[in-house]
Each structure stands twice: as structure tokens, then as C-alpha cells.
Amino acid sequence: MIFVYPYKKSSSHFEILQSMRWIRKFQPDAVFYTIGDEVDGALNIPCKQFNNIRGVDVTNRILTFARKIGGEFIYMNDDFYINENFDFNKVMFKGELTVNPVHPPHYQEGSKNTIEFLRYNDFPILNYECHQPVKMDSKKLLKLFNTINWKDGNHFIKSIYLNVYKHEIKPGENVKMHHYNLQRATTFLEEHGCLSIGDGFLIKPGIEFLKR
């Protein structure tokens, strides 16, 4: 199985190294790619920053992998952590996409653009922004995004792709954790096989949790 990380190094490689280590525990033959910066233990496709808009830059990196390598792959982020409970063939969603005024402006723009595209083309508008990995097919991805003006503004590549192409789904929740909470992290891993972390998680007990 191939795991693809659109990756831009910040201060250290700690999060992505732990993410890959977790996967190797139950997928010893996993192959890792970083699209952007290099990291030990992963193959690399160099890719300079394409745009200051995060959604646009991430899409460019994922499409770069699809064009150069191709095939099926698991779209990852460096702060995604999964264990043997994770189901690669069933995708979690949380209700429908909305433009939430509580979210920062760039996120609201991503929601708005994604919803407008899906509604205009009569697709569902389920919210797949649950911070979990998803399986993608390079041919389908390239075919779809060749029809989209994806360079024009922020958008959610996962929610676009997953609302267009059929797959098994399950209701779920956003597994992003902005602060360390052992009980909540354990629950996410037991129920969904995945969690995602923010900077606030990386206090001493959170770091030790990831290492364990």
C-alpha cells in the first residue's frame, strides 16, 4: 500500500516520522512518498510551493504524485495517525458541508468553493473533512481535476473527490485534537482507527503517547 504525504517541513520531522512508524507497525510493507520536502524513510518527489493558498498548494502536490507515479494511494497528512482498526475501504463523513462563520476566512472560502462546485454539478455535499486518510485513484483524480479551475481559490480536494466518486461511507466525527486528552485519543483510535493532532497536542505526555 502506498501512502502519500503532501509535505512542507516546519520545525522538525517528528510528526511525520511518528505517523509513518505507526503505519509500519501493521503495514510493514508500506511505501511512503513525500511530495515536497524529503524525510528519511520515504521516497520523494520534489515539488516547490505552488501557491500561498493551502488548498491549492495541497492539490498541486497530490496531482503531481498522480501524474508522475499513478495508481491507487492513501492520501495522508503528516499529523494523521492510524492503527490496525482503520478501515481503508470505508470513508467517514460528518453531515453536510456548510460555511461556518466560526471558522477562519480561508476555511470558509474552501467550504464555499467546494459547495458551489458540487451543487452546480448536482453532486452530494457531504463533509469529508474529518482529518482522516482516504484512498484515492490517480486516474479518477486527474480526470476530475482536469475539469475544475482548482487554481482559482481554496477548496477541499477530499470532499470534492469523495462526493463525485462512489464508495462506502459511514457517519463519524472530526478526529482532529488540538489539545492532548488521553481518553479522547484512545476513543478515536478504538472507534475509528485514526486521529489527527494540532500543535497543542505536542506537550510532554502527548509526545510520549505518540512514541508509545
What does the pLDDT average to over 162-175? 95
Contact 73/138 with Cβ under 8 angstroms? Answer: yes
Task: Identify each DSSP E strand in the chain by its residue range.
Answer: 2-7, 31-36, 43-45, 72-75, 80-82, 90-93, 134-137, 168-171, 176-177, 194-197
**pLDDT at residue 162, as a whole number:** 98
**How confident is residue 51, by pLDDT bands cut at 50, 70 and 90?**
confident
Between CA 61 and CA 69, with CA 66 as vertex, the angle to 5 degrees is 110
Rounded to whole angstroms, the Cα distance separating 84 from 91 reads 15
Between CA 34 and CA 36, with CA 1 as vertex, the angle to 5 degrees is 5
Strands 72-75 vs 2-7: parallel, antiparallel or unpaired: parallel
**pLDDT at residue 62, as a whole number:** 98
Q: Residue 12: pLDDT above 90?
A: no
Three-state DSSP at 30 gives coil
| Choices 3.30.420, 3.90.550, 3.40.1130, 3.30.70: CATH for 2-211 | 3.90.550
Contact 155/113 with Cβ under 8 angstroms? Answer: yes
- Domain range summary for the chain, segments of one domain joined by +: 2-211
Q: Residue 137: pLDDT above 90?
A: yes
Q: What is the pLDDT of residues 57-107, one digit of tens each?
A: 999 999 999 999 999 999 999 999 999 999 999 999 999 999 999 999 999
User: How far from the centroid of its chain's Cα atoms is residue 3's Cα?
Assistant: 11
Contact 98/112 with Cβ under 8 angstroms? Answer: no
CB neighbourhood size of 159 (10 A): 26
Beta bridge partners of residue 150, listed in sequence order: none
**How confident is residue 119, by pLDDT bands cut at 50, 70 and 90?**
very high
